Amino acid sequence: MKKIVLIGAGGHCKVIIDLIRAANEFEIVGITDRRPSKDQLLGVPIIGDDEKLPSIFNSGVHHAFICIGALNNMNLRNVIYRNLKQLGYALPILVHNTSSVSKFARIEEGTCIMPQAIVNAGALIGPNCIVNSAAIVEHDCFLEDNIHISPNAALSGGVHIGRNTHMGIGSSTIQSLTIGRNVTVGAGAAVIHDIPNNAVAVGVPAKVIKFKENK
């Protein structure tokens, strides 16, 4: 069985461990964490901080997966992604066996499709994204990289989302809109207009309440 190391020993990691165990394709050798504070998570050993990643690679573990949700700092996932690629790691695509992914959808490396999520035909989901539990990515959506679609969030057909964006839990987005880069859409928002880069938008209908620092 191929070996994999996980990065980030938080809550999102627990769900990824479940997913990997159910798929039975990878043996998880351990978890690294920026600030390790415990010995194990769901029985998987926490083997040190991220400085260990080069020696883990050299020991023959050539797959890795980013397990941090990083809601308040989506860019952290980018930094780790670039580091892993530089070290030579391959990042698999992880698809939970209860999700539904069209064979006409394209999903790129390091992206996970969580339990009960739906990805329909013509969707393109870039690298290092999270399509979380029961989220819906409808036909012809285009997601750039490092995007988190939270649990139960729904994207109608043909929505374009820029990199580093977080769509909040239970948000709904009508068809053919463009959501910018580094955006946060609040929990339960109804998005009916395009959202500009770096915006935080909340409410029904969603309105921009502030702008974040450009990243």
Ligand X SMILES: CC(=O)SCCNC(=O)CCNC(=O)[C@H](O)C(C)(C)COP(=O)(O)OP(=O)(O)OC[C@H]1O[C@@H](n2cnc3c(N)ncnc32)[C@H](O)[C@@H]1OP(=O)(O)O
Q: How far is the CB of 131 from ligand X (least distance, A)?
A: 11
Q: How far is the CB of 186 from ligand X (least distance, A)?
A: 3
Catalytic residue (choose from 12, 62, 139, 193): 139
Pick the closer one to ligand X by CB: 47 or 199.
199
Q: What do you get for the CA distance between the two ends of the chain, in Å?
A: 38
Q: How far is the CB of 54 from ligand X (least distance, A)?
A: 30
Residues 6+ apart with CB under 8 A from 67: 6, 7, 8, 9, 10, 12, 13, 16, 31
Pick the closer one to ligand X by CB: 151 or 162.
151
Pick the closer one to ligand X by CB: 8 or 186.
186
Is residue 169 annotated as involved in ligand binding?
Answer: yes
Is residue 148 annotated as involved in ligand binding?
Answer: yes
The verdict on whether 63 is a catalytic residue reads no
CA distances from 2 to 26, 106, 188 (A): 5, 23, 39
Question: Kind and range of the H or E element at 76?
Answer: helix 75-87
Residues 6+ apart with CB under 8 A from 8: 31, 32, 33, 34, 66, 67, 68, 80
Pick the closer one to ligand X by CB: 10 or 88.
10
Question: Kind and range of the H or E element at 46?
Answer: strand 44-48
Q: How far is the CB of 169 from ligand X (least distance, A)?
A: 4
Residues that bind ligand X (CB under 6 A): 69, 71, 132, 150-151, 168-169, 184, 186-188, 200, 202-203, 209
Candidates 120, 91, 122; CA nearest to 108 is: 91
- Binding-site residue ranges: 148, 169
Active-site annotation, residues: 139
